[in-house]
Amino acid sequence: MTQGGEGRQIGKGGCLGLILLSILFAVVVFGSIIYVYRHNATPANRANEQQAIDQCLARANAPETSPADRQALMENCQEMQKQFLMKYPDAAR
């Protein structure tokens, strides 16, 4: 392999190292995002998320909600509950 027009050779070890560094970078970035997501769980955030789920369920069960809207809202509420339980596994609903 040559790099540009300079005629320098890039060895297989250099390419492998570059690939491994790229993978390591991706792991560090995604690990950081997951860490921040998991450790940003303050009691106030937890209460706000619980309140959002409760409001979603109230809107879905409101008498003025059409059956089609009710079904869509219930699916959204269930997904919110699923994400909440993943974030707060000690929460019992």
Helix (H, G, I), strand (E, B), or coil: what is residue 8? strand
Q: What is the pLDDT of residues 51-70, one digit of tens each?
A: 999 999 999 999 999 999 99
Task: Let me know: does 77 contact 56? Beta carbons within 8 Å.
Answer: yes
Note the pLDDT of residue 36. Answer: 80
Q: How far apart are CA 60 and CA 77, in angstroms?
A: 8
Confidence of residue 6 (pLDDT cuts 50, 70, 90): low
Q: Residues near 60 by Cβ (< 8 Å), separated by ≥ 6?
A: 70, 73, 74, 77
Note the pLDDT of residue 5. Answer: 52
Amino acid at 85: L
Q: What are phi and psi of 3, to 5 degrees?
A: -110, 115
Confidence of residue 44 (pLDDT cuts 50, 70, 90): confident
Token code pair at residue 6: 């300079």
Q: What is the pLDDT of residues 10-43, one digit of tens each?
A: 666 778 888 999 999 999 999 998 888 777 778 8
Note the pLDDT of residue 14. Answer: 75
Note the pLDDT of residue 10. Answer: 64
